[in-house]
Structure 1
């Protein structure tokens, strides 16, 4: 039955009009993801009015394909310039950009393409086969589980800061604090705004990302006279093909298996999305690889590219489960797609999948085909971006700054966000100068807005009893895992730490 419905959905795509819409959506998604400062959410927002004249199937398919394309393509600028083209590519910068500087640009992009496609395909297959079951499972989760998942994510930040856990926790705490700025999510009172109306909505994520990664990197390169693009002579030693070799199945089998499944499950959580999936995917990946590779994460290891790219694309597929089955967006982009549902008179909910099989399975088929198409259309797009190697360094810096300014300003169309980006850039420059990692700061900023309301709502429902977080089995298990994962790095020099250093407690 599922196969028949999926085949019917695929046939809907391969009509002339829908096929053209599919191609346009994938192209726009990849372009918006690969250009620093732009992202899939922004593109979806801009195109929603244009879908008004389309039928609902074509409209939702178009927006869904844009989302998938943008999640993948954010890795291109992340690897080439250390500028995440989309928030989902934040973690890809940690190893992808060092690989580029080592002259391994083609290898890094090849891995990103392969793992993005596999993660997306597996996520789409899980979505197709188990969406009703996953939707029912997600309904059993409540605020204690959401809070515990975030605590687990914050505990994993110790992996990102393996060189200095204290500094990593400090920058993470800064991110969590920044997430509290703005209106109280429950009481609606202003906090830490200092009377500024621009801070009522909090600190915007996009200007912070562009500042911490793009502007700070430009400042660092200017101060050191370094090169953002790797040495062409070293690069020429790599394969001339952008298509990934089949041995990646063997090399990344653990990461592909674990992160595809875990990324999909994280994507199902309302509000988590592909960015959170990438954060978890990177740290999970570091836990399950051999020790000699684990210790080199952040210095340019292929596994550091494979892990987040697998998880964020799987999470992008998982985010459609709560959207279709519960009417609750699983990410920021699916929240915008939900607005398109309203525009077309659709009401997602428990009976939505069974009542709208043509639309749902067309979207499912589109997600699956889009991830396959990513490999097929990747070569010309990447070839275009590698031409940047011939651009003078000064012009390249200027273009990155210009794109960053456009991206930061277009978030809310206010100049205040430019100052936020500049402050974040200068702050990020000095943080990295003194070996404070900036990735944990973004982790805190992303996870903080999920943690606080979940914690407070959970306490309100339980009458203020903290025991609610350990009385529920899933929540208790997650908190125990968080305690274990947080404690182990602190014990690395002890026998106990060495014994349980790997995820699951088995050293390699």
Structure 2
């Protein structure tokens, strides 16, 4: 019960008028930066870091917590409305969320996103407060072989489950690997696929890949059909309640809990952030939608496809902060930015932080809960207002998306070549849409590809080339076993769907005869 008493003392500090003001200001600023395509939550933390330098340590950390979660809220808003997620953690939410926006349910998608983020974040923060020692033990279980097994699980599961065709899913995975391999090999220092150009030595930024594939690719796709197809309903019906109906609550509540269950453990291990749990949560909802023959999933947009990834993303963010405070281990880019705030005040996150700086840490933990409540209060009423962006005529809207997205790309390193790379990747994204090649495997391969390669080589270096180390622990065996079962089930499901489609085509041909 010591944690509860310390948390209550933290609430007493966080509830002062000045600190509540810092929470509200941080929530608004974080959301405003996070909603801009190409910037996202990590950039929100980086850009707003100087704002906190003039504050006292307690006020600075409280404001930073609000900025941290506010940026995550903003990431999903831009993804749902503009098909341009502010950060890679919101990519999975974008798929069904943008479809809901195009079918006239933008406010409902934004409301579901806000509620899912709130539920996932609240559960994760509660677990962090009371179960921090167990999170530490979970993180210690993972070695190079376990990280590699986890990455392989994500690669194959996403390609086999999310994609309608396993072959197309593997093609998309190959495209993602090709993009991830560009640059200098981190372990040997060798150039790879740079064509001798120093500009490519640092590789291709994930922001460039995300903006090019999702935003620019979508703009080109829409431009190619804009005179042949009428304006979609999203330009005519952005209104609606952000709150799920009673029937929708019965649908999304299990999805919220499933997404949270995916996100909580991933925040404690350095696997690149919340990309893996959000994609796995999305894949689970898609598989369940197939079982219940949900006609909205993949067409008009299913509310469960927004609820689960969003809950998973914020649950990961919550436990990531627990890992950062308890271990000094940043498990995502946004969490890594937070270390700068601690170092600014001469603090080093780790096992001794709670003992040496408890007067700062517990108000910070309390501000996680208050920040999530404030963000929910701010974002739910504004959902319908954000949705009015879709009233803008398509040619103006997509032109604006292009300008904002390119500004976000240029803001990364102020290099014109990034703009050309984003355009080239956008053309690839347009071709993938034309040939029905899924986008999700490309993104997951580009994000986790470097980490998987590094962990594989570390594992083989430790074992002196013995590949048996990759299946030498119970955890790796369990992951590969689950992966095998997932692939087998996916192949069976794809075969059944193919037979059904062929049967339907034959019956239709007979009726015509």
TM-score, normalization: structure 1?
0.91
Q: CA separation of 1:309/1:229 partners in 2, compared to 1, >3 Å: closer, same or farther? A: farther
In 2, Cα distance between equivalents of 1:167 and 1:89: 23
Q: CA separation of 1:427/1:71 partners in 2, compared to 1, >3 Å: closer, same or farther? A: same
Q: Is the 8 A contact 2:252 2:303 kept in 1?
A: no
Q: CA separation of 1:494/1:148 partners in 2, compared to 1, >3 Å: closer, same or farther? A: same
In 2, Cα distance between equivalents of 1:259 and 1:379: 20
Q: Is the 8 A contact 1:120 1:317 kept in 2?
A: yes
Correspondences of 1:29-44 after superposition (within 5 Å): 29-44=30-45
Q: Is the 8 A contact 1:183 1:202 kept in 2?
A: yes
Q: Corresponding residue for 2:251?
A: 251
In 1, Cα distance between equivalents of 2:160 and 2:224: 29
Q: CA deviation at 1:389?
A: 3.4
Q: Is the 8 A contact 2:234 2:391 kept in 1?
A: no
Q: Corresponding residue for 2:93?
A: 92
Q: CA separation of 1:384/1:370 partners in 2, compared to 1, >3 Å: closer, same or farther? A: same
Q: CA deviation at 1:486?
A: 2.5
Correspondences of 1:328-347 after superposition (within 5 Å): 328-347=329-348
Q: Corresponding residue for 2:221?
A: 220
Q: Corresponding residue for 1:230?
A: 233
Q: Deviations over 1:437-491 (max 9, x none)?
A: 1221111101112211111111112222222221111121112212222333223
Q: Corresponding residue for 2:506?
A: none
Correspondences of 1:96-115 after superposition (within 5 Å): 96-115=97-116
Q: CA deviation at 1:234?
A: 5.4
Q: Corresponding residue for 2:51?
A: 50
Q: CA deviation at 1:129?
A: 1.4
SS at match of 2:493: coil
Q: CA separation of 1:493/1:43 partners in 2, compared to 1, >3 Å: closer, same or farther? A: closer
Q: CA separation of 1:232/1:220 partners in 2, compared to 1, >3 Å: closer, same or farther? A: closer
1:456 correspondence with 2:450: no
Correspondences of 1:457-496 after superposition (within 5 Å): 457-492=458-493
Q: CA separation of 1:374/1:135 partners in 2, compared to 1, >3 Å: closer, same or farther? A: same
Correspondences of 1:137-216 after superposition (within 5 Å): 137-159=138-160, 161-216=162-217
SS at match of 1:92: helix
Q: Corresponding residue for 2:504?
A: none
Q: Corresponding residue for 1:325?
A: 326
Q: Corresponding residue for 2:509?
A: none
In 2, Cα distance between equivalents of 1:290 and 1:442: 23
Q: CA separation of 1:59/1:160 partners in 2, compared to 1, >3 Å: closer, same or farther? A: farther
Q: Is the 8 A contact 2:275 2:444 kept in 1?
A: no
Q: Corresponding residue for 2:400?
A: 399
In 2, Cα distance between equivalents of 1:493 and 1:115: 30
Q: Is the 8 A contact 2:236 2:391 kept in 1?
A: no
Range with bigger deviation, 380-389 or 393-402: 380-389
Q: Is the 8 A contact 1:81 1:229 kept in 2?
A: no
How many residue pairs end up in the alignment?
494
Q: Is the 8 A contact 2:257 2:311 kept in 1?
A: no
Range with bigger deviation, 480-489 or 340-349: 480-489
In 2, Cα distance between equivalents of 1:294 and 1:2: 44
In 2, Cα distance between equivalents of 1:159 and 1:143: 24
Q: Corresponding residue for 2:272?
A: 272
- Uncovered stretches (5+) of structure 2, i.e. residues with no partner: 500-513
Correspondences of 1:357-372 after superposition (within 5 Å): 357-372=358-373
Q: Corresponding residue for 1:443?
A: 444
Q: Deviations over 1:295-337 (max 9, x none)?
A: 7532211111112111011111111132112212010011111
TM-score, normalization: structure 2?
0.90
Q: CA separation of 1:47/1:232 partners in 2, compared to 1, >3 Å: closer, same or farther? A: closer
Correspondences of 1:296-445 after superposition (within 5 Å): 297-299=297-299, 300-445=301-446
Q: CA deviation at 1:275?
A: 2.8
Q: Is the 8 A contact 1:113 1:375 kept in 2?
A: yes
Q: CA deviation at 1:248?
A: 4.9
Please report the RMSD computed on the Cα atoms of aligned residues, expressed in angstroms: 2.3
Q: CA separation of 1:331/1:44 partners in 2, compared to 1, >3 Å: closer, same or farther? A: same
Q: Corresponding residue for 2:291?
A: 291
Q: CA separation of 1:102/1:289 partners in 2, compared to 1, >3 Å: closer, same or farther? A: closer
In 2, Cα distance between equivalents of 1:271 and 1:452: 12
Larger Rg, first or second structure (1 or 2): 2
Q: Deviations over 1:339-372 (max 9, x none)?
A: 2222211112222223322322222222222222
Q: CA separation of 1:479/1:38 partners in 2, compared to 1, >3 Å: closer, same or farther? A: same
Q: CA deviation at 1:196?
A: 1.5
Q: Is the 8 A contact 2:34 2:43 kept in 1?
A: no
Q: CA deviation at 1:249?
A: 4.7
Q: Is the 8 A contact 1:119 1:310 kept in 2?
A: yes
Q: Is the 8 A contact 1:179 1:445 kept in 2?
A: yes
Q: CA deviation at 1:228?
A: 7.3
